[in-house]
Structure 1
Amino acid sequence: MSALRVANCSGFYGDRLSAAREMVEGGPIDVLTGDWLAELTMLILAGNRLKGRPGYAPTFLRQLEDVLGPCLDRGIRIVTNAGGLDPAGCAEAVHELAARLGLSPKVAHVTGDDLMGRPLDLVNADTGERAPAAPLTANAYLGGRPVAAALSAGADVVVTGRVTDAALVTGPGIWRYGWGPGDLDALAGSVVAGHVIECGCQATGGNYAFFQDVPDLAHCGFPIAELRADGSSVITKHPGTGGLVSVGTVTAQLVYELGGPRYQGPDVVARFDTITLSDDGPDRVLISGVRGEPPPDTLKVAVNFPAGYRNTMTLVLTGLDVEAKARAAEEAIWARVPRESFDQVDVTLTDAGLLRITVMDADRRKAGRAFSSAVVETGLSSYPGFYGLTPPGDASPYGVYWPVLVPASEVRPRVFLDGEELPPVVQGEPVPGPIPAPIPGPALPEPPGGPVVRAPLGRVAGARSGDKGGNANLGVWAATAERYAWLAATLTTDRLKSLLPDLAPHRIDRHELPNIRALNFVVHGLLGRGVAASPRMDPQAKALGEELRAQVVDVPAALLPQGAAGEEPGA
């Protein structure tokens, strides 16, 4: 049986609108899929719904208009989580679009993820805290079996709400190959493939540490996973498109938004410490060897609740005595609106001379113009060279993402095809019990000795970082076994904190993945209560990896590229 070609056309709500057409027209594919949902997106959609707007991602319909006809002609199935908080409404909108185009697709939608109205134990799965407010949304992460059921019933388009990102690939894999709950390794392989392609161009050279090695990045092609019956896959892209698929670009995406080596999901636990990557030709990387374990007996639920209002003002400090100017600016501002009058205040002075002040409060009036106008009023009675980047404005509401767990047995996916409900979906068998031991990785050489050179860490290592709720993830990898051996011996948790002092107050978990020559760090609480509530300038920790790569360390000269100061060749 030939491989199932699953093409991605969206990595987030707001990604390139032309991508669906590019993937359909660029070469043969079997399934067109894309990821529209993040934890923050669910909060955005909830706000839209309160304003009378759709609770789904309307950009999906804009893309679908370009490709629905060609997909029906060529037998390409479409699978999307763009249904967000209203999969049924999105499915109805697909029907309306199709009627306008003179088409008659079979449209399925998946529900059962929405747990609003049910009693939930709102204890945060990461911190142990109890939610301080009533939920605005509560959606369980469903797996791939409802998607497979819809495809097996003949759906041309499948619209889901909150499913795991990987379910958009696992579901089509179950449909094509008939994997049962016991086919753990095959399921795990599909989860890894789904994790790689779900962020769109991040698998094909986008946001890549060694971006200078990526040809025609401005026209980066979206990824394709050629999924095989045993769960192995080849990651590639359409010929003639920009970007790069290499062991390095795939590794970068594997460590993105990752926790430990046991990647838990509703269909399977994928062991990331068993992944093998190998070149399979130009712009082709083979993923194989992935082992799977039974899924846990709980599902994660993404809860969002309203938390108050926030406002940010940014002032520019130039010339001499920047730190003294920052103190003068703060004194002038807090003389007008006392700092202690707000629920929360964050003040950041950047190396570039930006003084960024964020206030948060349950009272919109206090966090609104009462604050921002007070900052502007100091304009002629503050530090020399005063100017700001933000005009006085009102506060904006913000919410908090709150992960909780529910028994998997209490969540029942429901699948509808053209409005008619299909038979109940049979899920995998969750298995409670102790966490299995890590799987030993390949033997590593001894870290090289000899002379050392002061050089940025990024000359011998790549990195990619992101957010996991209120935690940040920082993945670091090396291109060779020798470099990884040195990296694993050198970059301890304490060393990471010394290189990035802002991380020092936080608990950090360190995970080794020697099979892909990578380390992953989870920095607990760096993002506060999550992206929407984080006062950081980089609320999703996207730049954390590049900040680390810029730090100068003692590197064995033998590990550096020729000339020591030269650019790192692609991983």
Structure 2
Amino acid sequence: MALLASNYENDPIDVLTGDWMSEGNMTVRAGSKMSGNLEAYEPTFLEALEPALPYIAKYRIKVAVNAGAADTEKLHGVVTKMVQKKGLNLSVAWISGDEVLPQLLEAQKRGESPFENICTGEKLDDWKFEPIYAQAYLGGLGIAKAFEKGADIVVCGRVSDASLVIGAACWWHKWQRSDLDKLANSFVAGHLVECSSYSTGGNYSGFKDLECLGWDNIGYPIVEISSSGEVIVTKNQGSGGEVSVNTLTSQFLYEIQGPWYFNSDVTAVLDDISFEHIAANRVALRGVKGDLPPPTTKVGITAKPLYQAEMHWFLTGLDIEAKARMIETQIRLLMRPHISKFEHLSFQIIGSVPRNPKNQNAATVDFRVIAQARKASDLAPVKFARPCIDSIMCAYPGATPHLDLRQAFPKEVFEYYVTLLPQASIQHRAHLPNSETIDIPPPSATKTYPKHQPSQESTSDVVPLSTFGETVRAPLGTIVHGRSGDKGSDCNVGFWVRHQDEYAWLRNLLSAEFMKELLGEEYKGGRIERCEFPGLKAVHYLLKDHLDRGVSCTMNVDFLGKNCAEYLRVREVNVPMKFLARGRI
């Protein structure tokens, strides 16, 4: 924030937005609020804000962030005192309405909804955990109203990631709820910058091309939004990385669910989306249309904590699977008196040994033992750590446990449940610096959408794969970019290519059925939704309930789903040789 604000005279910006929220810290901060042991807002926001404040005041830059997490009012007080202590003429507002557990539980008692989990299909009455906190995803109009009434800094809790930009654009251009196309474009613009440097080269499968541009100084994306809703994406001057069609396609495909993208203020219709290169590090967003928002909004429910512990062994060289079976058998025997108390127990081989490895590290894999239980006492050292380590003298050849046992002691993890709540049930409010409170009404016009996104099992533009010429077995990622991420226990995965003839091949290769083959042993039988984005030369999948209960309590090492695409890109397929001749990604 200080970097961008201090360079205003050379590289001006009007609004700084910051997205501090994820499903991971939503649950952790909810637990903090309920226990009262730690601050329930995001303290790293204060670290970013404090050095930037003099420049924010000097250049009258507006600020909107969702760093309030589970205690926005308290963060508002801390920021207000920080501003006053520095003697700056800045006013601070805050947004409420995202905390909705009472409304949700009352509606559940009245039988108004089964509150179905949008990832798993489970009904809330059947959920075996006790809710302690619930947060609804708010739109951006409370932010717009606070700016309109003179606020310089607006702190929020669980407004959706992109709502920060929606609110800024609505305030600046004085848009109305009926300006759906404009709102939709600002919504997608917000999605493109919500994850910071993901749009400028972070988490990008073409990262090797950026080494010459500076891996050590990847820049921050900036969106320019016109009164008509047109969007151009650029980045701060003098930074590394790049803004390109490819880096924006990468970020766009991350976290979307299909061709409909929902927000409390608008639904973005993405069938015809594309990006146009305007100049170096300047790319225009095209083809986004707006539709009415849904009558509901997403709610994340946090339950009383489980407890988790894990232990690691190193396996080296030959017979990895047999060595893993041996140590697992011995550990299970020692755990037998206590194992019934475990909610979950998993033994995992992480990595593999290449043929003729060049060093010992390359020949070593991680064997992970991880367990979860309702009570910390059920994972006490005598019940988990000791059974994991006590077989050391009778284990596999080279048996070596990790000596850092901190993870073997129980820690809190939180179950998380995602459902929908009517927007009309939410008391969305802007709290202004002068103590005035303004209610933000829900949208008066909404649209109910089908439960599932539009999905194509395979492409409608059928071309026999044989027409693409001679092929060679090669990793999919030699010519195909990929990007994936989590939404609760769902995982979305997008693939795209550089040339139109490659796209004809890609969309014919990547059917829903072929995705099951590509996933291999990772496919557990869940629903797969598939759609195409021709303007991006992309195919997108939503893998329903693929991520073991979501980031807050998953036992997977890929807890954010970000490496799903990288796993799929290394899987071998028949790649046309003429495409390989153009060069690899």
Task: Report the TM-score when normalising by structure 1.
Answer: 0.91
Change (3 A) 1:509 1:85: same
Query: 1:117 & 1:443 partners in 2: Cα distance?
Result: 47
Moved more, 136-145 or 316-325: 316-325
Asked whether the 8 Å contact 1:444–1:482 carries over to 2, the reply is no
Equivalent pairs counted in the alignment come to 548
Deviation of 1:538 (Å):
1.1
Tell me the equivalent position of 1:349. 349
Deviation of 1:138 (Å):
0.7
Tell me the equivalent position of 1:383. 396
Deviation of 1:136 (Å):
2.2
Deviation of 1:104 (Å):
2.9
Asked whether the 8 Å contact 1:344–1:359 carries over to 2, the reply is yes
Moved more, 148-157 or 172-181: 172-181
Query: 1:75 & 1:345 partners in 2: Cα distance?
Result: 54
Deviation of 1:522 (Å):
1.4
Query: 1:438 & 1:500 partners in 2: Cα distance?
Result: 22
Query: 1:222 & 1:26 partners in 2: Cα distance?
Result: 15
Change (3 A) 1:140 1:25: farther
Residue 175 in 1 paired to residue 192 in 2? no
Asked whether the 8 Å contact 1:475–1:520 carries over to 2, the reply is yes
Tell me the equivalent position of 2:134. 138
Deviation of 1:107 (Å):
0.7
Residue 400 in 1 paired to residue 396 in 2? no
Change (3 A) 1:396 1:128: same
Aligned partner of 1:317 among 293, 315, 318: 315
Deviation of 1:417 (Å):
1.2
Asked whether the 8 Å contact 1:310–1:368 carries over to 2, the reply is no
Asked whether the 8 Å contact 1:306–1:397 carries over to 2, the reply is no
Asked whether the 8 Å contact 1:255–1:520 carries over to 2, the reply is yes
Query: 1:219 & 1:51 partners in 2: Cα distance?
Result: 38
Paired amino acid for 2:346: D
Question: Is the partner of 1:500 in helix, strand or coil?
Answer: helix
Residues 207-231 of structure 1: CA deviation (Å, up to 9, x unaligned)? 1101011120211011101111122
Residue 128 in 1 paired to residue 121 in 2? yes
Equivalent residues in 2 for 1:245-394 (5 A)? 245-338=243-336, 339-352=339-352, 353-369=365-381, 370-389=383-402, 391-392=404-405, 393-394=408-409
Change (3 A) 1:379 1:25: farther
Aligned partner of 2:537 among 514, 517, 523: 517
Tell me the equivalent position of 1:37. 21
Change (3 A) 1:147 1:395: same
Asked whether the 8 Å contact 2:258–2:454 carries over to 1, the reply is no
Aligned partner of 1:52 among 33, 37, 57: 37
Q: Identity over aligned residues, as a percent?
A: 34
Change (3 A) 1:311 1:21: farther
Equivalent residues in 2 for 1:409-558 (5 A)? 409-418=424-433, 420-433=435-448, 435=450, 449-505=468-524, 506-558=526-578
Question: Is the partner of 1:533 in helix, strand or coil?
Answer: coil
Query: 1:75 & 1:561 partners in 2: Cα distance?
Result: 53
What is the RMSD computed on CA atoms of the aligned residues? 2.2
Residues 119-173 of structure 1: CA deviation (Å, up to 9, x unaligned)? 2544322223223223222111110100000000011100111111110100011
Query: 1:82 & 1:38 partners in 2: Cα distance?
Result: 10
Unaligned runs of 5+ in 1: 1-8, 10-17
Asked whether the 8 Å contact 1:232–1:289 carries over to 2, the reply is no
Query: 1:381 & 1:294 partners in 2: Cα distance?
Result: 65
Query: 1:535 & 1:166 partners in 2: Cα distance?
Result: 29
Query: 1:37 & 1:459 partners in 2: Cα distance?
Result: 34
Query: 1:46 & 1:23 partners in 2: Cα distance?
Result: 36
Change (3 A) 1:26 1:443: farther
Query: 1:531 & 1:22 partners in 2: Cα distance?
Result: 36
Query: 2:455 & 2:309 partners in 1: Cα distance?
Result: 47
Deviation of 1:549 (Å):
1.1
Change (3 A) 1:69 1:408: same
Change (3 A) 1:342 1:515: same
Question: Is the partner of 2:171 in helix, strand or coil?
Answer: helix
Aligned partner of 1:65 among 37, 50, 53: 50
Residue 81 in 1 paired to residue 94 in 2? no
Residue 113 in 1 paired to residue 98 in 2? yes
Deviation of 1:444 (Å):
6.8
Aligned partner of 1:27 among 11, 28, 36: 11
Change (3 A) 1:491 1:326: same
Query: 2:194 & 2:370 partners in 1: Cα distance?
Result: 33
Paired amino acid for 2:417: W
Paired amino acid for 1:322: I
Moved more, 198-207 or 413-422: 413-422
Residues 208-264 of structure 1: CA deviation (Å, up to 9, x unaligned)? 101011120211011101111122211110121011110000000000011111001
Residues 457-484 of structure 1: CA deviation (Å, up to 9, x unaligned)? 1122100111110111111111222111
Query: 1:401 & 1:20 partners in 2: Cα distance?
Result: 35
Question: Is the partner of 1:539 in helix, strand or coil?
Answer: coil
Tell me the equivalent position of 2:227. 229
Residues 91-121 of structure 1: CA deviation (Å, up to 9, x unaligned)? 1111111122121311110001111323254
